Amino acid sequence: MPLSTNYPQGNKPDLRKVGRDIYEWLTNTGSRGYKQRMRNQTIKIEPEQNYAPSEVAAFLNLSYDAALRLMPKMKGVVDLGTPTRRYKRGKKKLRISGKNLLKFVRSKTRD
- What pLDDT sits at residue 28? 67
- What pLDDT sits at residue 4? 59
Q: Which residues pair with 77 in a beta bridge?
A: 96
pTM of model > 0.85: no
Q: What is the mean pLDDT of each run of 10 residues along the chain (111 residues)?
A: 60 79 73 64 85 89 88 91 89 92 88 56
11, 5 Cβ separation under 8 angstroms:
no
- What pLDDT sits at residue 92? 86
DSSP string, 27-63: H---TT-HHHHHHH---PPPTTSEE-HHHHHHHHT--
- Spatial distance between the Cα atoms of 70 and 47, rounded to a whole number of angstroms: 19
- Spatial distance between the Cα atoms of 27 and 33, rounded to a whole number of angstroms: 11
φ/ψ region of 66 (left if φ > 0, alpha if ψ in -120 to 50, else beta) reads alpha
Coil/strand/helix, residue 93: coil
- What pLDDT sits at residue 77? 92
- What pLDDT sits at residue 26? 78
